[in-house]
Amino acid sequence: MFLDEYKKWLDSDMLSASEKEELKNIANDEKEIESRFYTDLSFGTAGMRGIRGLGRNRMNKYNIRKATQGWLIIL
């Protein structure tokens, strides 16, 4: 499942060339791909915290946008 998510991100038109290059650089590292894509970054009592980088389980502009959209829906 996490490999499917990795491929979805890699094929996304939203990513810049440098972001796609970052993902291509981990193509042969299944443990790194799993670490980045096996789950969503959690939102706890202190907000969102995590390692910076690309992926569902990393702190990046895409997860910040997702959290901001959720916040605005609540407001």
pLDDT digits (tens, 9 = 90+) for 44-75: 778 888 999 999 999 999 999 998 998 899 88
Q: CB count, 10 Å around CB of 33?
A: 21
What residue numbers bound the domain in which 55 lies? 2-71
What pTM did the predictor assign? 0.85
Domain count, the chain: 1
Residue 72, CB-side half-sphere exposure with 13 Å CA sphere = 6
pLDDT digits (tens, 9 = 90+) for 10-34: 999 999 999 999 999 999 999 999 9
